[in-house]
Chains A and B, each alone.
Chain A
C-alpha cells in the first residue's frame, strides 16, 4: 500500500523532473553554505585570539555575509522551484480530478454529494500538494542541515559532538510525543466544536418548537454544557501547546548547558577552542528548527497518504462512456449511424429499478412514438415519467429491454452524436452564472444572434430579455440578476431549441411557467416542429390536450394511452386527473 502512495507521488511530479532537480540541488548548496557560517565564526574568533588583527576580522565578517548572501540566492531558487512545482502539481491534480468527474454517470452524482466531492477537490488536493511541496523541501533541507552540522561538529570535537547529538533523538521524540498529544487534543476539540455548531444549527432550525414550548432556559442550559465541554477540550489543546515550544526551548537550553559543562572541561584540557565552543552553540540553534520539522513532515506525509487514497477512490470509478470527454468524433466516424430527421422512437420491454428503491421505476414499457409526432407523458409524482425520458440521452440505462431510434438501438449511436441529436430540457432548469447569451448558446457557442433571438422567441422569453439591463449580455446567478423559476425554465428551453435537434425532450420543464404561456409555447412548438419528434412530460393536462399522443404512467407502468378525447371517454386515471385540475383551476380564479 505504502509503495502505491510513493508511486503516485512520483507520477505526480514526473513532468517537473528538471525543475525539481534544480530545486533540490539548490537545497544542497544552500544547506552547505548555512552550515559554513558557524565555522567561519569559529575561525574569526580563534583568529582573534591568535592574530589580534582587524584585517582578519574584516575578511571573516565579509565571508559570513557572502555565505549568507549566496545561500539566500540558493534558498530563493529552492523555494521557487519546489513550492512552485507543488502549485503546478496541485493544478494538475485538480484538472485531472475534474476531468474524471465530468465523465462519470449521473448515478455517481446521485450517490456522492457535491460537498464531499468539493472537499476532495480542495482539502485532499491541498494535502497531497503539501507532501510534494513543503514536506519534500523541509525533509531534504532538514536531513542535510542535521547531517552537515553533525559532520562539522565531529570535525570540531568528536567528544563534545557525541554529547550534543544525544540531544537530537530526545528532541525528535519529544516533538513526536507532544505533537501526537496535540493532535489528539485537537481532534477532541474539533469534535466538541462541531457538536456545539450542530447544537446552534439544530436550535435555530427548531426554534418554533423551543419557543412554542418555552424551552429557552432548558436549551440555554444544554448549550452551556456544550460550551463547557468545548472549553475543557480547548484547555487540553492549550496544555499541549503551552508545553510544546517552551519544552523544546528547555531541551535546547539544556544542550547549551551541556556544551558549557563538557566544553569547559575540554577547553581546560586544551582540546577545544573558544571559537569551536561558540560554533557548537550556533550549530545547536541551527539544528533546532530542522529537528522540529522532522516531526511535522512525518505528520504531513501521513495525512497526504490518506488524502491520496480519497482521491484514488474517485479515480477508481469507471467513466460512463469511453469517449465521453473527447470532443472529436472518432476518426472512422463513417461507420457510426447519425440521427438526421425526426426519428421514430421505440421502447421495448423496458425494466428498470433504482439500486436503493424497492418498487421498480419502470416495468414492462412497450411504446412506439411515431416519427415527427408530439407525445405528452403524464402521471403522478414518482410514476416513472422522468426516468423514461432520461433513458433517451443515456443519462440512465435500463436494466433490460431496449430503446430504439429509427429501429437502431441507442448504443449503436456514438454518445456525443446521440446527445447532440437530443434537445433535453431538465426540470431543474440549471443555469450557469454567466451571461444569458452564454447560457443559451452553450450547445452551439458560435451561433448567430438571429438564431438565438429566434429560439428565445419560441420560448416566449424575448420581451422579458429586452427589459434586462444588458439584454443578452446580462449576467445571471450569484453576481448578476436573479431569475424567477419560470424565466429559468424558458431560458433552458431556448437553449435546447437553439440546437434544433431531431428529438426534443421536455422533462416537466415548464412547471413554473404560467399555464397560458405554457400553452402558447406548446402551440409555437407544434407549428415549427415539422422536423422534430417531441416528448414532453407535464403535470398540466391542459398542455397535454393538444398532443398527438398522451401516455399515462402510474407506478412505472404504462396504463393508458391515446389522445385527449379518447382518454377522457375511457374515464380512467387521465379523466380523473383532468377533473381534479379543473376544480383547482376554478378555485384559482375565484375571488
Chain B
C-alpha cells in the first residue's frame, strides 16, 4: 500500500490520484451507518431533477394551448400547475441539499471523533516526533476535505449526470431532430470547460508558488526587520519585494486572461444554441413540424446545459484533494501505538510503591544515548531525589516510569512487577505527576483539578485544594472554583499554577508521587506555600522527584546523581557532600544560584 512511504514532512498540498478504488471503498465503509439515508438522498435527487425539468414543459403547454391560440380558458390551471411544480421542486431541492450535507457531516462527525481518539492514544514517541501543526491538520483540514467530498462531491456527481441526461431525454422526446442539432453545443461546452479547468489549474499552481514567495519574503523580513534596519538595507529590500509582488501580479493576470476568455466563450456558446434553435426550430415551425411551445421549451432547456458540466469539472479538484486527504488520514489510523498493553495484565492490589530500575538503557530513534545502565530502587514511603545538570536525563526517568516511552533495554518494576505487565491505566493510576511546566487546560479551576472526574467534585475537591494551599487561588479568582483560567492558565501566575498542579495530584490520592520541581522563581510567600503543600503531599507516599530546591534534596532519603546519562553517585546529602564529587559541585552551583536569583 502506498501509505507506507508516507512520512510527516510530506507536503500537505501534494496532489493525489483522483480515483483510488481501495481508498474510496474504505471511505464508503464509513457511510454504512447512514446507508438508508444515502439511498433516500439519491431518490430525492432523482425526483428533484425530474420535477425541476417539468417546468418548461408546463410553459410549453401554456404557449401551445393558450398563448398562440389566444384562448384564455385553462391558462389559470396551467399557471397554477407551474406554480405547484415550482414549489414542489423547491421543497424537494431543499430537502435533498439538506439531507446530502447532513450525511456528509454525520459521517465526518464520527470519523473525526475516532481519529482524535486514535491520536490521543498513540505513543508519545510518535506524537513528540511530529510538529503539532501536522498532527492538527489531520484532525481538522484533512477531515474537512473529506467532509466536503462526502457532502457535495459524491452525491452531486449523480445529480449533474441526472440533469444532463434528463434534459437530453426530454429534448429528444420533444423533437429528436432539433434535439440533435442543439446537442452540437454540448461537446463544445465540455471542451471549453475542461480546457479552461486544466489551464487554470496549472496557472493557479504558479500563482500559489508566487504568493508563497511574496508571503515568505515578507514574513522573513518582518522577523528580521532589525537586521534590515541595522544594515541599512531598506531600499534594496523594497526593490526585491516589489519584484516578487509584480511576479505574483503577472501570474494572476494570466489567470484573469483565462477567465476573460472563458466567460464570454460560454455566453457565446449559449447564444449559438439559441441561434441554432431559432434557425432550425423556426424552419420546422414554418413547416409545421414543431410547435411554438416546443421552441420556447428548447430555448429554456438549452440554458441549463452549462451548470452541470461546470459542476462536474469542479468535482475533479474535490476528488483529488479528498483522495490525498484520505490517504493521510488512513495512514494515521493504521499507525499503532508503540506502548503495548500486556496480554494478561497482572493486577496491582494494595500497591506498596516500591520502584526498581534494573540496568535501564534508553536512546532516541536517532541513536542518541539518554540513559545508560541505570539501576536503583525506591523503597515504599521513601523520598528519592534525582539530581543532575540540564540534559542529564532526569525527566526521561519519569517518562519511562509512566510508560510514555518504553526503555530500550532493561526493566522497571513496580512492587516487583515489570511495568509492561501492568495495564497502562492501572499503572498510571498509581502515580501523581506534578510537572515542572504546569499544563492547565482552558477550562475552570475545578475542571483543572478534577480533570473532569465527577467522583472528585465537592468535598474531595475542597479538601485537595485546602491541603495544597490552593484555596487562596480560588478565593482570589472572580468566580471561585468556576473561574476560567484562560488559555494554558494565562490568567494565573506561575505559583498559582503550581498550587493547582499539586491539588491535581493530591486529589487522586496516588501511592507514588512523581515531581519535576519548578525552577521558576516565585515570591517567598508562594514558595513557602508550595513547599508546605508538597510536604503534605509527600507524607506517607513514595516520592521520586527531579529536585532543584535545596530543602527537598536535603530531606530526601536518597539522592541519585545523574551525570551524562549514567548514575554517578548515590547517597544522602551529607555523604555526597563529603564525597566532594559531582553532587558537591552541583550543590554549590545551585546554592549560589539561589542567592543571586
Residues in chain A within 8 A of chain B (CB atoms):
34, 37, 41, 44-45, 48, 52-54, 57-58, 60-62, 64-65, 67-69, 71-73, 75-80, 83-84, 87-88, 90-91, 94-95, 98-99, 101-103, 106, 109, 114, 117-118, 121-122, 193, 196-198, 200-216, 218-224, 227-228, 231, 234-235, 238-239, 241-243, 246-247, 249-250, 253-254, 256-257, 260-261, 263-265, 267-268, 274, 277-278, 281-282, 285, 324-327, 380, 393, 395, 416, 419-420, 422, 424, 426, 430-433, 442-443, 445, 478, 495, 499, 573, 576-577, 579-580, 583-584, 586-587, 590-591
Contact = CB atoms under 8 A, between A and B. Distances in A.
B451 A238 contact: no
A254 B82 CA distance: 8
A91 B248 contact: yes
A65 B90 contact: no
Nearest to B584: A583
Nearest to A326: B235
Interface in B209-268: 214-216, 218-238, 241-242, 245-246, 248-249, 252-253, 256-257, 259-261, 263-265, 267-268
B15 interface: no
Given A88-B249, A117-B222, A576-B596, A211 B93 contact: no
Given A202-B487, A587-B585, 4 more contacts: A52-B286, A250-B87, A261-B79, A586-B585
A431 B223 CA distance: 10
Nearest to B442: A202
Contact of A87 (B214, B252, B268): B252
Contact of B268 (A72, A203, A257): A72
B271 A268 contact: no
Contacts of B276: 61
B98 A239 contact: yes
Nearest to B261: A76
A393 B229 CA distance: 9
Contacts of A445: 236
Interface in B118-158: 119-121, 124, 127, 132, 135-136, 139-140
Contacts of B563: 587, 590
A220 B117 contact: yes
B124, B245, B272: residue with the most chain A Cβ atoms closer than 10 Å: B245
B109 interface: yes
B1 interface: no
Contacts of A201: 132, 136
B94 interface: yes
A205 to B, nearest CB: 7
B439 A102 contact: no
Nearest to A193: B140
Contacts of B431: 212
Given A83-B256, A87-B252, A587-B582, A242 B94 contact: yes
Contact of A419 (B124, B230, B296, B433): B230
A148 to B, nearest CB: 16
B79 A73 contact: no
Contacts of B283: 54, 57
Contact of A204 (B135, B248, B261, B429): B135
Contact of A99 (B86, B98, B238, B285): B238
A200 B232 CA distance: 43
A435 B592 CA distance: 45
21 contacts: A57-B279, A64-B271, A76-B260, A76-B264, A78-B260, A102-B225, A106-B225, A204-B132, A208-B124, A235-B102, A238-B101, A242-B93, A260-B82, A325-B235, A419-B231, A432-B220, A432-B221, A573-B596, A583-B585, A583-B588, A586-B585
Interface residues of B, number: 135
A53, A90, A234: residue with the most chain B Cβ atoms closer than 10 Å: A234
Contact of B429 (A94, A214, A422): A214
A419 B232 contact: yes
A114 B124 contact: no
B278 A60 contact: yes
A122 B589 contact: no
Contacts of A77: 260
B245 A94 contact: yes
A386 to B, nearest CB: 12
A577 B593 CA distance: 9
A327 B230 CA distance: 13
Interface secondary structure of A, over-half rule: helix
Contacts of A76: 260-261, 264
Contacts of A583: 585, 588-589, 592
Given A416-B232, A420-B232, A432-B224, A68 B588 contact: no
Which are the 8 A-B pairs with shortest beta-carbon distances? Answer: A72-B264, A68-B271, A242-B97, A79-B260, A327-B235, A61-B275, A253-B86, A246-B93
B83 interface: yes
A102 B229 contact: yes
B59 interface: yes
A48 B109 contact: no
A265 B391 CA distance: 92
Contacts of A34: 267
A528 to B, nearest CB: 21
B585 A231 contact: no
Contacts of B94: 242-243, 246
B232 A443 contact: yes
B504 interface: yes
B401 to A, nearest CB: 10
B260 A214 contact: no
A568 B492 CA distance: 42
A41 B225 contact: no
A37 B55 CA distance: 23
A101 B219 CA distance: 12
Contact of A65 (B220, B227, B272, B425): B272
B231 A246 contact: no
